[in-house]
Chains A and B, each alone.
Chain A
């Protein structure tokens, strides 16, 4: 493999990491509060706002129904508005983030809903405000599950990022398609796949390690 190709691979890996990292950061910044709200705003819950909950739930579901490749193309005008251009790696972050927000929101919602009702009751009995309960009880207790959820989100985003080549997003997936497939260079395709496998493995094991560190519950199988 030529030095030129190796440089391309390194560059593509950097682009993939860049897109995924920014999309994860913004996706979490927006998805976390959205997920917390979805988990606490049904009738009778802490932030009871059933109608807003329903509307946001619909929006989240609608966004998640759109196949990613269609989303990328469909929101090109919006991408141009936000990123100034509709092609390139930075532009590709826009659809990635838009896919990440509802995904992360649902993962966070599920994690928060797993927290024992009794803890909310205990906090209410202490005279905690809803925001205190969310911050000091719900998020703190759901942290292991949220960490695993974010790990899943990053892995999914690495997969999604392979599709942004459709709008000139570059990155590993794009390199694999253009060189490995369109230029008949199977060895490039193979290296791209190996790098993706390694990346995903790395993300998964780091995520699991962090989740285990923040998890102070008794190990499964030993009761409580």
Chain B
């Protein structure tokens, strides 16, 4: 490719706050004291429910929103303080893709991808080959002269990605870019983003309400709730040991490991006086994920284990397992100690009699 200089930029949110004026007077706080650092070349997922403030946070990176307190730095430059030509200069280094694609219906695929180059004042002679490269990169060479109305959702998002890459940005922002796509298309779009991150080294920040998207693509994750970051770190660590209730509720959705209803309804917090079973969540991380720990529990300690639900999947390249088991309450402490000794994480969910 005739490559404009790509390279990731760092992004730093420093004690960022955003308050909106209410129509009747007073203010609503959308973000409070958000501090977050994104290293160059990282793929960071910001996950939160709608209204949590994730969209506001993302839009501060290219100055579509300005913080009311704190600073947002991209490659060391203060976006919130930039105006006019300086701000437009930063924006050309930050590409953005959108949930509803936001393509011009009046322009073809090639025309849409050419737009940011025209806007940046690139000479016409240079636009054509650059656009052809970008179209090839996202696999749409056969559709170059089609209009958006003739494309599928996945193809439209590919156009969006090519357009976002046109000016050779250092950062790519993704605003729920796969939320309007079916699961299969989502996978191909995420794979494309991964390729781009690997090949061009640019920093990607994506917001989503789907933990599956974070699992499939993000190296780091920040969980936002009520305008604050409640948890952030490496994706694998967050999946293995979520601390905040919001994170856990997002995770239970994606790992698919929830208690079957017939047990959930019988669950109590205290162990029964005699007998009964203890219900435990076991999280397998890293190389231990594939060890036959439960079989060992039975053969070495003679504890009968009942599997209620479970899944093993990959986060990044690492395996990650999540099992819900029940075993005799009397031997619960002993079994958990054994599992913890073998580097598994356990959590008592309750008891059934």
A residues within 8 Å of B by Cβ? Answer: 116, 118-119, 121-129, 132, 136-137, 140-141, 143, 214, 216-218, 224
Contact = CB atoms under 8 A, between A and B. Distances in A.
B91 A137 contact: no
A119 B173 CA distance: 16
Given A118-B98, A129-B88, A136 B118 contact: yes
Contacts of A136: 115, 118-119
A125 B62 contact: yes
Given A119-B104, A125-B96, 9 more contacts: A122-B102, A122-B103, A123-B115, A125-B62, A125-B173, A127-B167, A128-B88, A129-B88, A217-B149
Contacts of B98: 118, 121-122
Interface string B93-126: 0111010101111110000000110111000000
Nearest to B94: A125
Given A118-B98, A218-B149, A224-B149, A126 B106 contact: no
A148 to B, nearest CB: 15
B88 A118 contact: no
Contact of B105 (A123, A126, A129, A141): A141
B92 A124 contact: no
A126 B116 contact: yes
Interface SS, B side: mixed
Contacts of B102: 116, 118-119, 121-122
Contacts of A121: 64, 98, 102
B204 to A, nearest CB: 15
B201 to A, nearest CB: 21
A140 to B, nearest CB: 5
B149 A140 contact: no
Contact of B119 (A118, A127, A217): A127
Which of B87, B96, B115, B148 has the most chain A CB atoms inside 10 A of its CB? B115
A118 B105 contact: no
Contact of A216 (B87, B92, B100, B106): B106
Interface SS, A side: helix
A218 B148 CA distance: 9
A140 B107 contact: yes
A132 B118 CA distance: 9
B147 interface: yes
B119 A126 contact: yes
7 contacts: A118-B98, A121-B64, A125-B62, A126-B120, A127-B87, A129-B88, A217-B105
A141 B102 CA distance: 12
B89 interface: yes
Contact of B96 (A122, A132, A217, A218): A122
A126 B91 contact: yes
Given A118-B100, A124-B64, A127-B91, A141 B106 contact: yes
Interface string B169-183: 000010000000000
Given A122-B98, A125-B91, A125-B94, A140 B104 contact: yes
A99 B102 CA distance: 36
Contacts of B106: 140-141, 143, 214, 216
A214 B64 CA distance: 31
Contact of B120 (A116, A118, A127): A127
A166 B218 CA distance: 74
Contacts of A224: 149
Given A122-B96, A125-B91, A141 B104 contact: yes
Interface string B130-167: 00000000000000000111000000000000010001
Which of B94, B104, B118, B147 has the most chain A CB atoms inside 10 A of its CB? B104
A83 to B, nearest CB: 39
Nearest to A119: B102
A132 B5 CA distance: 25
